[in-house]
Copies of this chain bind each other. A is one copy, B any other.
Amino acid sequence: MTKYVYLFKEGRADMKNLLGGKGANLAEMTNIGLPVPQGFTVTTEACTRYYQDGKMIAPEIVEQILAALEATQSTSGKQFGSSENPFLVSVRSGARASMPGMMDTILNLGLTDKAVEGLAKLTNNPRFAYDSYRRFIQMFADVVMDISKSNFEAILESQKHKKGVELDTDLDADDLILITKAYKAKYKELKGEEFPQDPKVQLIEAISAVFRSWDNPRANTYRMLNQIPYSWGTAVNVQSMVFGNMGNDSGTGVAFSRNPATGENVLFGEYLFNAQGEDVVAGIRTPKPISDLKKDNEGLYKQFEDIAKKLENHYHDMQDMEFTIEKGKLYMLQTRNGKRTAQAALKIAIDLVKEGLLTEKEALMKVEPAQLDQLLHPQFDQKTLLHATPLTTGLPASPGAATGRVVFTAERAAQLFKADGKPVILVRQETSPEDIEGMVVAKGILTSRGGMTSHAAVVARGMGTCCVAGADKVKVNETDKYFEIEGKRFKEGDYISLDGSTGKVYGEQIKTVDATVSGDFATLMAWADKHRVLKVRTNADTPKDAEVAYNFGAEGIGLCRTEHMFFAADRIRAMREMIVSNNAVERKRALDKLLPMQREDFIGLYKAMKGYAVTIRYLDPPLHEFLPHTYQEIRVLAEEMGIEFDELRQTIDSLHEVNPMLGHRGVRLAVTYPEIAQMQTRAVIEAAITVNKEGGNVTPEIMIPLIADIKEFNYVKKVVVETAEKVQKEHNHKLDYLVGTMIEIPRACLTADTIAKEAEFFSFGTNDLTQMTFGFSRDDAAKFLGDYYKTKVFEADPFAHIDETGVGSLMKMAVEKGQSVRKDIKLGICGEHGGDPQSVEFCHNIGLTYVSCSPFRVPLAKLAAAQANIKNPRK
């Protein structure tokens, strides 16, 4: 028979999957001899079973619960429902991963008409006993029976009114006895049955209610945001109640073993005498700092300090603890590894190494890669933030905080910023490549449409600019230059603030503090470098981006998107001339104008990377992306170019595609217009020769996108090689260079062995590969993904992490096939996933050479790469 219930003394810290985090740690504390009020844990498997059985607790599980209850009672010497020495318990959720406040808790369970008498006698405090009973009835009714609290609050208010008092505390025991009666009557009125007087019935109902709360909307949303699988379920902890509110020799508190904001090695926390946990949280009384406990009760402080140290030494990590003091006796109610700021995480990890509690590798595992973002981007000033309420929440598309004046066009952003240098925030339905100049000056970008891999998101991450994308409550009227959120209107010049790490949008100015990188950061990065094998490159399209990335430790450029260079105002004209050319001669003339600019770009990139490899992807997007689409814009362009409006419009129409994502782009452009590949090759090679003649050491890597068949690759490679050889001869300078390919189409993975015969490197383009493997257009998926989450068909955005089952199996196949014909083939990834820690780990595991990510993600990727290698060392 499956064991569904564990006494605390039967569990261990490593049984988190079964007992939940809280349950496992209660068990561990019990076993190392700390003072823990005893109890038991109903497992996560019981939760799963609860749902399988149609939301009921199976009789065999009820039996095990009652047996554990019996065992716990007999240890305590108390008795459920006793009018002498009543046994009371708390019933709390506890999942594998912490989900603070998302599920339900019930305290004081076991109180009945009889037990309340016992409690009153035992504590010699009838007021306390009836107040507890009243609170329990209200909590049980609310959590278990779904009766709104307001029903009971009305009774309380009316009693206070009757007595003419203001505060709950002004009510005496008799008042509370009356109130308790009224509560029970109300309960009966609404439920049609008496408030249950059998504590075992209360218990089973309460456990069911906690299981149910796993599926409440709040919990579902939290899980989706934190990628916690629905299938895990929650455990339920049933623990003997201890009371911090039994007088001034009692109390309760929460504390961290070190300062979670700075990492400083001192106890940090708060406590209150004569109080229960909810009083600390509720904010009615102001708790005292934990350091005061030393003065108040040095013995207790010492005992708690020892326990904190003991737990730190046991868990090798900073602890977040809850405790209660009942009549002078200290009880530990919970411990867990404490959440901390990025700054604290670094300091604590490094201090623990210094203290000999952690090895370097263990310390590396203690820092969440995603947290590093906090260190690299401005954040809101926490004190100012306390008083701000977000208007809406979009997607946290690019981290950091920003405050500034609203503008609705890229031009206006540039104008305003140039005029006074004060910050602006660009607000648009969605951005397009033409907005680039406005995006550069903006402190933050807010869009109402588009996902985590939309244009705004990708570009903002690349530049390290804060961005909130896809905030669909934001209704933008670009024509009349205003936007509305839930009826509130903002016009140009109004201040708003964005938090790109949480997606929150505020309708006011909030102070920001700049990023600060300490010496700890450098230490941690040095350790990461020592313990990783996966290289980290960057996606950079401009020398400026490349420099930022180099300073963050990027080991090369894994993706330079040449098309981004063509959107600048002085270039798009030549690009458009190229596109509307009627023949190869005209096209070549336009390309000749682009050549010197492209060459300068590459020289800049090569110099910024100081000898590291630079991978240049050839023109990729469909050409219509470069052309205007409105009547007005087309008219202006036609005039500029001296061609007929109708002719230009026809050209633009003829470039329209039904499914541009699967259309005329990538290598397909180079097959139809080899002149483009020739021009780009000339620029790549001439730039490298220029830099190498000045003492540089550049080996450019030329990358052909969107290959589905080796013949496409061969066709373009031939063009590239012929041009490269010609240019070298012209300059009388020999140069090494590689020609490789993106692997971003399923067929490329399936035929990777054939492709690797000719391609000198692979770089996985997991954005497109994900789209084609799933048959999802990321531009359109938002329309139905909402329903997918609601129905739990999907639990996370398939574009956020590499889908290891589908996309990952294609990648593995490509790696194996590629290596089977070219043993030392360079293998990289340049999709957005290159900056996602979970995906970086996968890339390490399947044996890639490097990941490439946006400049600000480089440190994060390095840490993730080190962690991956520590978990699964590469031979």
Contacts and interface: CB of A to CB of B under 8 A. Distances in A.
Interface of A: 657-664, 668, 671-672, 706, 708-709, 711-712, 715, 744-747, 750-751, 768, 771-777, 779-781, 783-784, 787-788, 791-794, 803, 805-807, 809-810
A663 B784 CA distance: 9
Contacts of A709: 774, 793-794, 806
A432 to B, nearest CB: 12
A751 B793 CA distance: 15
A776 B711 contact: no
B787 A672 contact: yes
Given A657-B777, A715-B793, A780-B657, A809 B671 contact: no
A47 to B, nearest CB: 20
Contact of A771 (B662, B744, B779): B662
Question: Which 7 pairs across A and B sit closest by C-beta, in order of nearness?
Answer: A662-B777, A659-B777, A747-B806, A663-B780, A658-B779, A745-B775, A672-B787
Given A768-B775, A774-B708, A806-B708, A788 B671 contact: yes
A279 B852 CA distance: 71
B715 A780 contact: no
A662 B775 contact: yes
Contacts of A793: 671, 709, 711-712, 715
Given A658-B660, A780-B664, A787-B671, A773 B746 contact: yes
A528 B580 CA distance: 55
A745 B768 contact: no
Contacts of A711: 792-794
Nearest to A666: B775
A398 to B, nearest CB: 22
A52 to B, nearest CB: 15
A662 B776 contact: yes
A618 to B, nearest CB: 15
B664 A661 contact: no
A776 to B, nearest CB: 6
A777 B663 contact: yes
Contacts of A662: 659, 661-662, 771-772, 775-777, 780
A747 B774 CA distance: 6
15 contacts: A657-B783, A658-B660, A658-B780, A659-B661, A660-B780, A663-B780, A672-B787, A709-B774, A712-B788, A715-B791, A744-B775, A747-B803, A750-B773, A751-B806, A772-B775
B663 A783 contact: yes
B783 A664 contact: yes
Contacts of A810: 746, 750
A660 B784 CA distance: 13
A774 B745 contact: yes
B672 A746 contact: no
A375 B145 CA distance: 75
Contacts of A747: 773-775, 803, 805-807
Given A657-B777, A747-B803, 18 more contacts: A658-B661, A659-B661, A659-B777, A662-B772, A663-B783, A664-B783, A668-B784, A671-B784, A671-B793, A708-B776, A708-B806, A745-B775, A746-B746, A746-B775, A747-B807, A750-B809, A751-B805, A768-B775
Nearest to A807: B747
A517 to B, nearest CB: 39
Contacts of A780: 657-660, 662-664
Contacts of A706: 775
Pick the most buried of A664, A715, A792: most chain B CB atoms within 10 A of its CB: A664
Contacts of A772: 662, 746, 772-773, 775
A708 B805 CA distance: 11
Contacts of A788: 668, 671, 712
Pick the most buried of A709, A747, A751, A779: most chain B CB atoms within 10 A of its CB: A747
Contacts of A750: 773, 805-806, 809-810
Pick the most buried of A661, A672, A793, A803: most chain B CB atoms within 10 A of its CB: A793
Pick the most buried of A711, A746, A776: most chain B CB atoms within 10 A of its CB: A746
A775 B774 CA distance: 12
Contacts of A794: 709, 711
A775 B672 contact: no
Nearest to A622: B780
Nearest to A775: B745
A711 B789 CA distance: 11
Contacts of A805: 747, 750-751
A776 B662 CA distance: 5
Contacts of A745: 773-775
A198 B672 CA distance: 45
A67 B511 CA distance: 93
A476 to B, nearest CB: 15
A301 B660 CA distance: 66
A841 to B, nearest CB: 20
A657 B784 CA distance: 12
Nearest to A744: B775
A735 to B, nearest CB: 26
A659 to B, nearest CB: 4
A787 B667 CA distance: 12
Nearest to A810: B750
A330 to B, nearest CB: 48
A109 to B, nearest CB: 36
Nearest to A783: B664
A660 B779 CA distance: 10
A310 to B, nearest CB: 45
A200 to B, nearest CB: 35
A671 B791 CA distance: 8
A207 B776 CA distance: 54
Pick the most buried of A775, A780, A791: most chain B CB atoms within 10 A of its CB: A775
Contacts of A774: 708-709, 745, 747
Contacts of A661: 658-659, 662, 777
Contact of A659 (B708, B746, B779, B784): B779
Contacts of A668: 784, 788
A338 B779 CA distance: 55
Nearest to A787: B672
A659 B668 CA distance: 18
Contacts of A787: 671-672
A775 to B, nearest CB: 4
Contacts of A773: 708, 745-747, 750, 772
A742 to B, nearest CB: 11
A344 to B, nearest CB: 39
Contacts of A781: 663
A213 to B, nearest CB: 23
A706 B784 CA distance: 14
Nearest to A659: B777
